[in-house]
Chains A and B, each alone.
Chain A
Amino acid sequence: MKIYYSSVLALFSAVIFLTSCGNNNGKSSGGALNSSNAEKVYVAPGEQDEFYAFMSGGYSGNLTVYGLPSGRMFKEIPVFSQFPTSGYGYSEETKPMLETSHGFIPWDDSHHPDISQTNGELDGRWIFINGNNTPRIARISLTTFETVEIIEVPNSAGNHSSSFITENTEYVVAGTRFSVPIPQRDMPIKDYKGNFKGALSFISVDPESGHMDIKFQLMMPGFDYDLSHPGRDKSHGWFFFTTYNTEEANSLLEVNASQNDKDFIAAVNWKKIEEYVNNGGGTKMPANYAHNLYDEDTHMGTTTMKKEVLTVDPLKVPGAVFFLPTPKSPHGCDVDPTGEYIIGNGKLSADLTVHSFTKMIDAIENKKFDGEAYGIPILKFEDVLAGTVKSGGLGPLHTEFDGKGNAYTTFFISSEVVKWKLGSWEVIDRKPTFYSVGHLMIPGGNSRKPFGKYVVALNKITKDRYLPTGPEMEHSAQLYDISGEKMELIYDFPTHGEPHYAAGIPASILAPKSQKIYRLDENKHPYAVLSPDQARVERKGNEVHIYMSTIRSHFTPDNIEGVKVGDKVYFHITNHEQDFDVPHGFAMIGQNSSELLVMPGQTKTSIWEPKQVGVWPFYCTDFCSALHQEMQGYVRVSPASSNIELSWSLGED
């Protein structure tokens, strides 16, 4: 009887559905408009997106990869957080990636991804992202989509005005949000003012290998350095940092850091400081920070503790650092594609302050100063100001550019994106966001050559946009078509963690060079098994090393005896597949870590410390073939006192 009812119901609703469709098509132009929006974001089955979007994962510590315009998530790349899905941060090879001077840290708060550039244009070689909490910068390969390097930043705390790169990827820059005693020492907190310092770190990037090294740290007054962006084109060689808490308050900053009418944008001539440092300038100070590097040939991460860092006192390099007064605790610091305009997004203001690079140089040359802060010249506000955008919005945070002379600014408090014109400062359009937008991203919007087709708004609050999932909702992102004069909201999609910033790039740059397999004949892992006849088990004291290989669908060996309670068993697993997208997984019962997901041609290592006598199975976790369920094996674990010899086999061998 119930069946009958539900089929009637289904029929009935189908009729309604059909009818309503007909009606829509028939009358309203709104319906037609909606369907064209649907077409704009519809990527048909089997077809691919036009852009990659890399969203920071915020408190997930990772980086997620999406397609635009579809909003489909392709991958979560583990960066600062352990990731049981692949074994990152659990496998012996990747554990060193999460080492710091504070020991092994399995998590961070990832914020601002930035794609490498050549001549100010996206080159798609690497993407960098900062760990905010325990200051670190990571480099991710855009051929393997894996984290390949993480460098800790000493003398820094709340690594927030990071990780932004100069236009030839000469440097990735990491500025401290919280100023701290340098060197760290035991002192009263209330003595902050005048005693704490803010370190701005310039990390050089090797043009071939991408390897990072801290070239110098600029020791600035103890303000909060919030965000930054490089100069480009005509302003290449400069870097701009927003500051707040120029009051140097150490408590109740919500009130006490909002006293000054204007804070600063710090303009740093890094080329001048680089020259000073290359000529032997700067002071080496003792430090302790981790440099973690993943070798793509050995598939192995290593940690080197570095013991020294070069510091630069800005007063020792005249003409290198200036302050641009900027109203109302500016947050985002954005530079337009021509390099002329430096935008201060005064988050407690209704207006945007735009400084002119040309005027800034002129003010410097003509010494149009308005005093100094800790010996650093403050330029006269009126003499560097290019214009003010009177938007009528509230709480501007970030600005991106479309490369056609327009800028797009997010307003957090009034929940909107405002499009305005560079030079005339007039507001062209405004569209609501749902809700409380933070960052926004135009692919290449932070380079000389933006791809101004879409803007993604990264909202902080989701509320009713999706089906409720308990008190916690994923953050909502919104996609706007910006190809016309007016912006058009065309799509909503959820994002993972809390994306602070994002970086987008045309798929045509990345997709062709995305790596498909690791070649077995290039595998230099010291524990790799390059042909199945090398598979073996070796004992070294209480360590047992199992050299194992996998192919659809068996492990070699799959029967192992002679392991004892108290042993430390290393599974070194080499995946002998050489076909795209055929990883094998490995999981051992009772293991105090995670599974491994081993890519074709790759070797990964996992430790198991058996505590109980018995015969314990392991299996492949990644459905690899029709015989995947058969991909399993056993380890016999004998008492610690047993004298059973190590042995291993597969089939009758």
Chain B
Amino acid sequence: MKYFLKSMTILFTLALISCGGGEEKKEEKISIGQKPKVETKTEAPTSNEVPASQRITLDNKGVGKIKNVELGATVDQAMVDRGANLFKTNCTACHKIDKRFIGPSPTGILKRRSPEWIMNMILDPKLMAEEDQCAKDLLIEFNGAAMANQNMTEAQARDILEYFRTLN
């Protein structure tokens, strides 16, 4: 027990010291807040690792019940309208069309992801984040903000996918 107390005291003192150290160098403290975004992303994976959000994984259908999606030659406007509405209500808290927000922007997503992957991600984000490498990497890239399951039906997810086809 004494041993334990002793080591705790040492640890605690160390913690105090390191805290104090941080506050002394104010400039560095600010850089700690910013650098990880810029530096570690480019440094840690080193060289040519592309962030998950920009990676192109069109061959990957993801994990889940959607195995095959046929896209029509032209977009179906009725589906697009429904999809846009659903997206607005259920998704815009985290996904913005024009920029990355809590999660990535869906603009141009069909150039990077397969239709099946997109629908699987909408329908079961938890399973995807556990079993799909790309979804796992996205979770890390976006600070661990896990995507919410919005309880969409397959038809609703399909409508949202159709809407995404119009976002280029």
Instruction: Name A residues whose Cβ lies closer than 8 Å to a Cβ of B.
Output: 2-3, 517, 520-521, 530-533, 549, 551-554, 556, 576-580, 582, 625-627, 651
Contact = CB atoms under 8 A, between A and B. Distances in A.
Contact of B90 (A520, A533, A651): A520
B13 interface: no
A346 B77 CA distance: 75
Given A3-B1, A578-B150, A627 B144 contact: yes
A533 B92 contact: yes
A576 B1 contact: no
B8 to A, nearest CB: 14
A651 B145 contact: no
Interface string B92-107: 1110000001100000
Given A521-B89, A554-B102, A576-B90, 11 more contacts: A531-B88, A533-B88, A551-B94, A552-B145, A552-B146, A576-B89, A577-B150, A578-B150, A578-B151, A579-B148, A651-B101
A530 B145 contact: no
Contacts of B143: 627
Interface in B1-52: 1-4
25 contacts: A2-B1, A3-B4, A521-B89, A532-B93, A533-B92, A549-B93, A551-B93, A552-B146, A552-B148, A553-B145, A554-B102, A577-B150, A578-B90, A578-B150, A579-B148, A579-B149, A579-B150, A580-B151, A582-B148, A625-B145, A626-B144, A627-B143, A627-B144, A627-B145, A651-B101
A543 to B, nearest CB: 26
B139 to A, nearest CB: 9
A170 B89 CA distance: 41
Contacts of B146: 552, 625-626
A553 B148 CA distance: 10
A531 B1 contact: no
A235 B144 CA distance: 64
A554 B1 contact: no
B151 A517 contact: yes
A575 B145 CA distance: 17
A579 B93 contact: no
B92 A531 contact: yes
A579 B143 CA distance: 21
Nearest to A582: B148
Most buried by A among B93, B148, B151, B152: B93
Contacts of A549: 93
Contacts of A520: 89-90
A54 B145 CA distance: 38
A530 B89 contact: yes
Given A552-B145, A625-B145, A626-B146, A579 B151 contact: yes
Contacts of A554: 93, 102
Contacts of B101: 651
Nearest to A580: B151
Contacts of B150: 577-579
A151 B3 CA distance: 65
Contacts of B151: 517, 578-580
A576 B93 contact: yes
Most buried by A among B4, B144, B152: B144
Q: Which 5 A-B pairs have the closest CB atoms?
A: A578-B151, A551-B93, A578-B150, A579-B149, A531-B88
Contacts of A579: 148-151
A104 B149 CA distance: 39
A533 B92 CA distance: 8
Nearest to B94: A551
A577 B91 CA distance: 10
Contacts of A577: 148, 150
A579 B2 CA distance: 49
Nearest to A517: B151
Contacts of B148: 551-552, 577-579, 582
A425 B80 CA distance: 73
Interface in B133-168: 143-146, 148-152
A520 B86 CA distance: 10
A2 B2 CA distance: 9
A199 to B, nearest CB: 48
B145 A531 contact: no
Contacts of A551: 93-94, 148
A531 B94 CA distance: 11
A489 B4 CA distance: 46
Nearest to A523: B89
Contacts of A582: 148
Contacts of A578: 90, 148-152
Contact of A556 (B93, B144, B145): B93
Contacts of B102: 554
